[in-house]
Each structure stands twice: as structure tokens, then as C-alpha cells.
Structure 1
Amino acid sequence: MNKQAIKVENLVKNFGKGESLVEVINGASFEVNKGELVALVAPSGAGKTTLLMMIGCVEEPTSGRIWLGDEKVYENRWLTKETRKIRREKIGFIFQAHYLIPFLNIIENVTLVPQTNGISKEESEKTAMELLEYFEISDKAHAMPSELSGGQNQRAAIARALANKPQIILADEPTAALDIKRSVDVVKMLKKIATDQDVAVIMVTHDEAMLPLCDRILKIEDKKVVSSEVPRDTKIL
């Protein structure tokens, strides 16, 4: 059985042209398997979010190749016009801010994408309640985002990211606005999701304290991506 969830080959991303050309990523190649929680680290401005958005079919690369699961989605151009459909069906996004829709309650936020994908209201609500129970906020299903704490809203945002049963979770600084305890809780949750649901998770982080909770580290160095082992001797909560 193929465990590959993400494969990137010789990915390049430039902004601008001529004398104003800026190379952000130049020849990145790596793989991420199902069931892995991988940290993506680099200095500010080194292209972490850009790389994440290319994998997520949001930002178009300059050149290279991207596979999501068994499907090659990019080879020097998008191989489908339906990049939005790929995002809806294969990828869950989690951001530093939860971006819940403020005028929808929690269960309405979580069921929005599945219903957009054609899943019935009944089935999507059943899945949503299972996720909210998993994250221990099922009692908040009919509450508005403004009525929840920051940590509860982030859990709801993770539930929303999982509602379309994605193969891949892309998390951009999901703990940046949280204290150390809540940060650890969120990263442990992402690891549990990766393991329990056989999902590949890439998490952009600046917080080195979170790295021991991950399976592997991807670093952007000299505009390329290198893989390294996790420092297991670091103490965390």
C-alpha cells in the first residue's frame, strides 16, 4: 500500500522578473507519508508559507512537480483546472487565526465544506458531531465563535479542517497565538489525527519547543528543503 501523501520534485518559486526577480524556493524535493506529523521550519521570509501554499494548490509554482497522493497535480503547470476542487476534497487548512465565520455557529462552520462538496446535511452534521466530540467541544456545537475561548475556537477550526476527510492537513503557525500548554495540546492533537486517521500533517512553526512532538523536521536552507531527525532530548510539558 502506497503511504506517500505528498511528493515534491525540484520545486521552484520566483517572484518578479529581470533585475527585480527574487528566488524564494529553488529546487525543493521531499516526500511526506500518511500518518506523519512533519514540522516545517526556517527563518522569517525564507518561504515557509509560500511552500505550504504551493502544496495546497493556492500559490502557483514557477516550475517543478507536485503529487498529492497518487495524483500528479503540477508539472511546470497545473494539470487540472479544478485546483479549488483538489483543495476542497484532499486538503484541510489550519491557520494561526481560526477564521471561523462569525455569523455561523460551530456546527455550521464545520459542515460548510462537506455540504459544498455535495454531502447531505444529515451526514455532514453526523461527522461534525463526531469530530466535536473527539475534540471535547460537542457541547459548543450550537454556540457562536464569539462565545468560545481561543483554544476552543482553534479546536473547532481543526474539526472544520478534518470535516472533508482530507488526505493532507496543512497547518500554518497553528500555535502562534496560544500559550505553551495550549500549544502542546494542539500539536499533540495534530499528531493524534495523523496517527489515528492516517493523514499527513505539515505544520509550519517557529516554536522549537514543539519539535519533539513531531516525527520529522523539514528545513528550508539555501532555498532548498532538507529533512532532519527530531531532537528527542528536549523536555516539553
Structure 2
Amino acid sequence: MKLTQLFIAIKKIVPKDNYKKLHHFLYASLAFSIMDLISIAYLIPAILLILDKDKLVTYINTFDLNIEHINDTTLLIGVSLLVLLYLVKNILHTRFNVKLYDFLYSMSHNLSMSILEKYLKSDYITFQKQNKGNLIQKITRVTNDFSSSLLGSLIYLVSEFLILSIIIIFLMFFYFKLTLMILVLVGVFALYLYQMKKKEINLINETFKEAYSKSNAELLNILDGYIEIKSTGNHNSFLNKFKTHNKALNEVTSLLTSSSSNYSKYLELFLIIGIAGFILYNFLFPNSTENFVLISVLGALIIKIIPSLSKILNSITIINSHIYSVNTLMDINKIESESIVYNTFNDVLSFNEIDFNYSKKDTIFENLNFNIKRGEIIGIKGVTGSGKSTFLHIVAGILAPEKGEISVDGNVVEKNHFFQFISYVAQQPFLFNGTLLENITMRQSTNIDLDYINFILDNLELKNMIEKMPMGLNTIITHNSSKLSGGQKQRLALARALYNKPKLLILDESTNQQNEKLESKIYDFIKKTAKDKNTAVIIVSHNPSIYSLCDFVYTLENNNLIINSN
């Protein structure tokens, strides 16, 4: 990626408020670079003083200051000012670094939240296409690599490059030949280093892009498939898969860390050669004031040049190693905007001439028509693979049809829509890490109707079970909690759906882990609740007797809905 393309991409990725602050930090970094130059200039007479006080007087008088000698008072003031300058500069620089990285990690947090929100508000198919390991990488790792590693290094690269350029211009003005010779040597060495490290950097960039995602995916496989992995005895296969990707990730991380730390070692070689050259030059011309000035100038500049070169090389390495984060975040920005949410459903929800397919060769529905009114209970039958769950997803607004028209109370809805007046209960219930109460209310923090919750729990035969728990509704459960049976999890998901007081309740094999007697009781309660609250209900069930509760029953066959006589 070219430098201009990189800056354009960064501008598109960084939030507007953060982009303005990023400029401020860049300007502040440049200001500290200028302060470094001033402090270096102050070091020149200090080094001359160490080498020879008389040479210092001679050097100062070249500026027509007419100083005959340096007394103790002048010396004390000069040294005190030198210490004070470095003390103030370093205190300010330390505070700057704290604020800079606080800003960068805060930006990383904001980008993570933005990505998660974007995926959560995107359409269902886009979300379903995401590899969980890759998604975790984008939310946790990519944003951090972009903000703290790439942007942080870019800020230091710009400021250090500026300071180094000014130093080179200064040296070229006073010591042209010597500076030119040093630049040629450093340039050749830098080119050699770049070519030597180019393959390593590309490897690091590609591995960061792939290995972290694959490592996460394998870890999720192990955590989600504990019982199956243990029962089949194939745990070594899963461990080896994780080991392969995790090892690759750690190897390139080690390579990046060692490469970054070794630059200073390479530069030490130039430092030693430079010192040897200064000694030799001074030996050949021992009585030249210019020699002392040259040694003093270069000595002062080396204090800045060596760390500056090291930072530049290190920054270039880190930027190139994390360039994948820019490409990844740019791809995320291409995801379509969030769905249009509909909250109102007063009379009828209609689907007219609906076509849907996952691929051009795989038609699921063709010219499908369907209506449901508030208060109606409708059953949907069909053989496995006939598209029952897909149909429910379209009704819920999770999937958008390829063709056709959907309307609520006679008003046509936008294609990129989502119905928030619906509660959807799937066969495999979703429970998250939190209390039972949080799982029922979906972390609603105010105006919780505990009486209504207890009423629902009592009718779903959950109340006694929860009361026996040490903390009752405040008992903490985990994702895929072993504290609850499959049937209890389904009923807890039903309790959540009913507590939400939906205008349309969709039940997709939501009671297939209940015994027949309890299942019948649950649906009697659902029917009564639906009539009392004028709630529309759509049921898909394995139990044929459940359909006797429905006002209408449809069968999915031949890519369409056929109404049954009930």
C-alpha cells in the first residue's frame, strides 16, 4: 500500500472526533522533536566544556560574544539550565506519552464497539457468513493493531523523520563531505536491512491476518465441543489444530519483537565506527579547534540520531507488519448500513408474491403469499429441509426476500428491515453469562415487572426450581450452563419471549425437549396469553397434537404455503 493510500484509508477509518485529536497529537509530537533539537544544541557547548574549556571559549567567540573566560558562576548557571531543560522536557514528554496511548487505546475501544454494533445491526445473512474466530479477531485484535501499533508508530515515524531531516540539513551545511559519506553508508546499510527484512515483514503481516483468526476458531471448537471431543477420544486432533495456528502466531510475534529490538544493535556498529573515526581524525589533527567542535556536535547529535534511527526503522517495521489491519477495517466499512426497525403492528402482517433463494440454483420460495392478524395462532408444517426456519426468518424480518412485497397494516416496508415487535424462540435457546433475571429481561435495568415474571415462571413450571437456587433469580448462569437441563433452558427462553410482550410470537420447535404433558400445558398457557394480549403466534412443532390449538395450519411444499383444513 502506497503512503498516500495509507493516509486516505486512515482518514476513512478513524472517527471524525478522533481524527482531529490525532492531528493534535501529531503536532505535539513534532513540538517535542523541536524541543529535542534545542536540547541537543545546548549539549554542544557542554561537551566542549568537558573536552577543553579554552576550546569552548574560542568556539563561543566565533559568534562575536567576546568572552575571555568562563567563571564558576557562569558554569553553574549553564549546567543548572541544562539539567532544568532536560527535566522539563522529559516530564512533559512522559505526560504526552501517557495521554497519547490513552487516546490510541480509547480509539481502539471505540472502533471495537463500532464494528460489533455494525455487525449486530447488519442483515442476518452478512452476520451468518462471519467466521466467529475471524470476527473475534476483528473486534479484539485488529482494532488494537491499527490504533496502538500502526497509528502510534506512524506518529513517531513522522516526528522522528522530521527531526532527522533537520539534523542532516544542519550537518550538510557545516560538514557536507563527511555528512554525504555517512548518508551513503547508512543508505546502503538501510537498503540491505530492508531487503533482508522484507520477506519477514510480509510473513508477519499475512500471519497476523490469518493465524489469530484460525487460532480463535479452533479454541471455540474446543470450548463448544467439550463433551463430543472427550467422548470420541479425538482431543489430540483438536489440540494439534489449535497448536499449529497458535504456534505460528507466537512465532511471528517473536520475530517482530526481536526485529524491533535488534535495530539498535545494528546501529551500534555505526556508532563504534563513528567514534573510531573521530579518534583517528583527532589524532591526525590534534590542535584544531574545529576538531573539538566537530566531535562535540557529532557527540551531541549521536545522542539523538541513534535512538531516532532506531525508532524510524522500528516504526517502519511495525507499520508494514500491521498494514493488514487497515485493509481489514476498510472491508468492514463496506458493510451495508443498519436495518430499518419497525415497532408497530396493529392489525395484519402481509407477504405477497415472495421469492427467496440462497443461491440461483436453490429456490426456497416462489410466489409465496401469507397473512397473519393480531390474535391469530398459525401452525406451519413441512418435511425436513422444506424451508420452515427460513420462512420464519423472513416473517421475523431477519431475512429479506429476493422479490415480493411485505407490508405491516397496509404500509409497505423497506427491503432492509427488521421487526422489533417480534419475539423469536429457536429450538436451541440462547442463554448468556449473567443472572437468571438478566437472561429473562435481556439486561433491562429499570421498571422490571417482577410480578409478571413470577406469573410467567409459575405457568412454565420454573418458579419452584428457581426458588430452590441459592440466589433465586439472581443466580448466575453461564453460556451453555450445565445448571439447567435442555427443557429448562427452553422454558427460560419462552419466559424471556413472553416477558417482552411481543405482538407476534414465533416458536420454532421451541418445546421439543419437554415431556408431552408439560408441553401441552405450556401451549395452553401460550394460547390464553395470546388471546388476552391479542398476540399473533406462529408455531412450528414436532408434535402434531399442538396444531389443534391453531386457527390455521399451513404446509410448506413445492416452494409455497398450502393451507390445510384444520
TM-score range, shorter chain: 0.7 to 0.9
Give the Cα separation in 2 of the matches to 1:107 and 1:228: 40
Q: CA deviation at 1:135?
A: 3.1
Aligned to 2:536: 200
Aligned to 2:454: 132
Aligned to 1:233: none
Aligned to 1:235: none
Q: CA deviation at 1:209?
A: 2.0
Aligned to 2:390: 50
1:96 is paired with a residue whose SS is coil
Q: In 2, are the aligned partners of 1:94 and 1:170 still within 8 Å (CA)?
A: yes
Q: In 1, are the aligned partners of 2:372 and 2:536 still within 8 Å (CA)?
A: yes
Q: CA deviation at 1:63?
A: 0.9
Q: What is the identity, as a one-letter code, of the residue corresponding to 1:104?
A: G
1:73 aligns with 2:413: yes
1:108 pairs with one of 438, 441, 448: 438
1:92 aligns with 2:423: yes
Aligned to 1:32: 372
Compared with structure 1, are the counterparts of its residues 14 and 190 closer, same or farther at alpha carbon in structure 2 (3 Å cutoff)?
Answer: same
2:381 pairs with one of 13, 32, 41: 41
1:131 is paired with a residue whose SS is helix
Compared with structure 1, are the counterparts of its residues 153 and 70 closer, same or farther at alpha carbon in structure 2 (3 Å cutoff)?
Answer: farther
Give the Cα separation in 2 of the matches to 1:131 and 1:196: 16
2:560 pairs with one of 208, 224, 229: 224
Q: What is the identity, as a one-letter code, of the residue corresponding to 1:92?
A: S
Q: CA deviation at 1:148?
A: 4.2
By relative contact order (CA 8 Å, sep 6+), the higher-ranking structure is 1
Compared with structure 1, are the counterparts of its residues 184 and 41 closer, same or farther at alpha carbon in structure 2 (3 Å cutoff)?
Answer: same
**Structure 1 alignment gaps of length 5 or more:** 116-120, 231-237
Give the Cα separation in 1 of the matches to 2:454 and 2:368: 37
Q: CA deviation at 1:144?
A: 4.3
Q: CA deviation at 1:164?
A: 3.1
1:12 pairs with one of 355, 379, 386: 355
Greater helix content: 2
**Structure 2 alignment gaps of length 5 or more:** 1-344, 467-472
Q: In 2, are the aligned partners of 1:38 and 1:214 still within 8 Å (CA)?
A: yes
1:142 pairs with one of 437, 451, 474: 474
Q: CA deviation at 1:150?
A: 4.0
Q: In 2, are the aligned partners of 1:5 and 1:200 still within 8 Å (CA)?
A: no
Give the Cα separation in 1 of the matches to 2:353 and 2:540: 20
Compared with structure 1, are the counterparts of its residues 186 and 70 closer, same or farther at alpha carbon in structure 2 (3 Å cutoff)?
Answer: farther
Give the Cα separation in 1 of the matches to 2:349 and 2:495: 22
Q: In 1, are the aligned partners of 2:490 and 2:513 still within 8 Å (CA)?
A: no
1:44 is paired with a residue whose SS is coil
Aligned to 2:517: 181
Compared with structure 1, are the counterparts of its residues 70 and 92 closer, same or farther at alpha carbon in structure 2 (3 Å cutoff)?
Answer: farther
Aligned to 1:172: 508
Q: What is the identity, as a one-letter code, of the residue corresponding to 1:10?
A: E
Aligned to 2:551: 215
Give the Cα separation in 2 of the matches to 1:132 and 1:65: 40
Q: CA deviation at 1:179?
A: 2.2
Compared with structure 1, are the counterparts of its residues 177 and 224 closer, same or farther at alpha carbon in structure 2 (3 Å cutoff)?
Answer: same
2:474 is paired with a residue whose SS is coil
| Number of residue equivalences | 208
Deviations 1:32-64 (CA, angstroms, capped at 9, x unpaired): 111122111111111110010011111121111
Give the Cα separation in 1 of the matches to 2:402 and 2:421: 22
Greater strand content: 1
Deviations 1:174-222 (CA, angstroms, capped at 9, x unpaired): 1222222222122222212211111111011232121112222021122
Give the Cα separation in 1 of the matches to 2:525 and 2:476: 23
Give the Cα separation in 2 of the matches to 1:108 and 1:31: 34
Q: In 2, are the aligned partners of 1:93 and 1:171 still within 8 Å (CA)?
A: yes
2:434 is paired with a residue whose SS is coil
Q: In 2, are the aligned partners of 1:173 and 1:205 still within 8 Å (CA)?
A: yes
Aligned to 2:300: none
Aligned to 2:492: 156
